[in-house]
Amino acid sequence: MANANRTISLQRRHFELVAEIIRKELEGDCREKVAYAFAYILPTTNGRFNPQRFLRACEVKAFQAEAAQ
């Protein structure tokens, strides 16, 4: 990559959009894998990023069960 050292700064609106796309367009294991991959890498774009909140917004199975309780 030519721009490997470039810093990207994302905001809540970006995280919400990514979570919405994951939630609406992906299902099952694919949704789980993609959501966890984003939850792992997105904290590098914003120190205030909350992976648990993001996974809930993606409606990942483990976090859906937590929200139902």
Per-residue pLDDT at 67: 56
For 1-54, the pLDDT digits (tens) are: 455 666 789 999 999 999 999 999 999 999 999 999 999 999 999 999 999 999
Amino acid 40: pLDDT: 97
- SS3 of the chain: helix, strand, coil, percent, to 5: 65, 0, 35
pTM: 0.81
* Cβ neighbours of residue 57 closer than 8 Å, sequence gap 6 or more: 15, 16, 19, 20, 23
**Other beta carbons within 10 Å of 50:** 15
Q: What is the pLDDT of residue 47?
A: 93
